[in-house]
Amino acid sequence: MLFAILAVAVIMTLNFFQNPVRNFFYLVSAPIHKTLWGAGERVSDFFETIAEFKNLKKENEDLKLKINSLLAENAQLIELKNENKILKTALNLGLQEEFKLTLAQVIGKDISQDSLLINKGAKDGLTKNLPVITEQKNLVGRISEVYNDFSKVMLISSKDSSFNAKVSEQEIFGVVKGKGGLDLFIDRVPQDKELKVGDILVTSVLGGIFPKGLLVGEIREIKKSDLEPFQQAEISSFFDIGKLGNLFVITPS
């Protein structure tokens, strides 16, 4: 009985001094405590890994699927970002106000035939002969064939392409023709008109194929002969076929 009372008294006393007592033991035990804690963590991790082995395989497969899905999503977002950038450029140039545009992506190129394949077709309201331009208002060509979901674009450098153009801010008119192999030239320019290298050519309203004011290219080389009734000039187009990714089709408003 006496022992029990003594024990209770000691315990009660220890409760009053528990903080210094515990602190002393924690301090003394800290190095061993730390070591054992680390060892416990490692051993427990090891056993957990073994226990989780089956789940890990499934989780790994799930994560791989998720990564693939995220990569696809990421690619789509990059695509949208580029599209957004192009649309912004077009918007800055006021293209949307001037024309009704349909954004299309180039999905195929046939340089030998001077043609492109785009991912918009009859379903998107495209028809034959609609003009195709870049976001910088550079004339690329016109639609030559329309399928349900795709269209073929005949570049202005195609041998079958010819349209009226004029020198920008001057009353010099001519006919721009394709030579094939991504080359084009301007013909039917009267001899009395003075062409200069570097002159910018834009579409004119005369031909009726393209709206006026679209950029065609700049004069690279002038071919003038007194024997010919008209003068000709080689043209460098403003677009780079290698960099064509997104285009606009001008649709009737």
Partner 1 sequence: MTKVILLVLIFYILALAQASFLVHFQIFGMVLNVSLILVVLINIFESPQKYLGLHGSLISGFFLDIFSTRPFGFWILIFFLVAIFIKLIFRKYVRIPFIART
SS3 labels along 18-35? HHHHHHHHHHHHHHHHHH
Check binding of 6 to partner 1 (CB under 8 A).
no
Binding partner 1 (rule: CB under 8 A), the pick from 36, 56, 71, 93 is 36
162 and 178 in contact (C-beta within 8 Å)? yes
If the CB atoms of residues 51 and 63 are measured against partner 1, the closer one turns out to be 51
Q: How many CB atoms lie within 10 A of CB 87?
A: 17
Binding partner 1 (rule: CB under 8 A), the pick from 6, 21, 75, 205 is 21
In angstroms, what is the minimal distance from the CB of 3 to partner 1?
9
- Residue 117 in tokens: 């394949």
Handedness of CA 174, 218, 201, 165 (dihedral sign): positive
Please, which of residues 46-65 interact with partner 1 by CB under 8 A?
Answer: 47
Check binding of 39 to partner 1 (CB under 8 A).
yes
Write phi, then psi, for 190 (nearest 5 degrees): -55, 145
Terminal Cα distance for the chain, rounded: 106
- Residue 93 in tokens: 């140039």
Binding partner 1 (rule: CB under 8 A), the pick from 18, 74, 92, 136 is 18
How far, in Å, CA of 248 to CA of 93, rounded?
A: 13
Binding partner 1 (rule: CB under 8 A), the pick from 29, 127, 129, 170 is 29
Check binding of 15 to partner 1 (CB under 8 A).
yes
If the CB atoms of residues 40 and 190 are measured against partner 1, the closer one turns out to be 40
Binding partner 1 (rule: CB under 8 A), the pick from 6, 41, 72, 225 is 41
123 and 139 in contact (C-beta within 8 Å)? no
> What is the contact surface with partner 1 in residues (CB under 8 A)?
7, 11-12, 14-15, 18, 21-22, 25, 29, 32-34, 36-37, 39-41, 43-44, 47
